[in-house]
Amino acid sequence: MSADCIFCKIINRELDADIVYEDDEVVAFKDVNPAAPVHILIVPRKHIPSLLDLEKDDEPLMGHLHTVANEVARKFKLDRKGYRVVINCGPDAGQIVFHLHLHLLGGRPLLQTIAKGRGV
Ligand code: AMP
């Protein structure tokens, strides 16, 4: 838990969010500024600022984030046409919330770009 982190506050129910999935390790909620019809953030409860802060012990957690993304994708019926997962790491990638998270995006054809932003 990091006191100033908005995602820690959502995880601890100090801040409202539209939570669509949770378990002992992960919380998933709708992005407040969606870039696609389905835009869910998959967030570990553990406060890891970015990919650069990952440690060896976090490897199972990273795998779990992806199986949760898969489960949430099925819940939002993205399994037929597919979805995109994005992780932004650091300022050049456009990371604005420094609590590691996967963006799960789908519900429309996504442009052939790996960039984030409204055109994802
Ligand atoms: P990133 O640029 O990868 O750090 O993405 C952070 C994402 O968090 C952005 O897409 C924001 O729209 C989203 N976001 C910021 N604050 C909230 C919030 N309180 N609830 C839900 N999503 C949020």
Ligand 1 centroid to Cα of residue 81, in Å, is 24
Residue 112 domain-assigned (yes or no): no
Identify the domain containing residue 87 by its residue range. 6-106
Find where tokens 């420094």 sit: 98
CATH number, domain containing residue 71: 3.30.428.10
Is 114 part of any domain? no
Q: What are φ and ψ of residue 68, in 5° steps?
A: -65, -40
Tokens of 84: 């995109």
Residue 90 lies in a domain: yes
pLDDT in tens, 36-55: 999 999 999 999 999 999 99
Q: Which residue has the tokens 């019809």?
A: 37
- 64/111: higher pLDDT: 64
User: 16: which residues sit within 8 A by CB, 6+ positions away?
Assistant: 10
How many structural domains are present in the chain?
Answer: 1
Cα of 4 from ligand 1 centre, angstroms: 14
Domain-embedded: residue 117: no
17 in contact with ligand 1, CB cutoff 6 A: yes
Q: Is the pTM of this model over 0.85?
A: yes
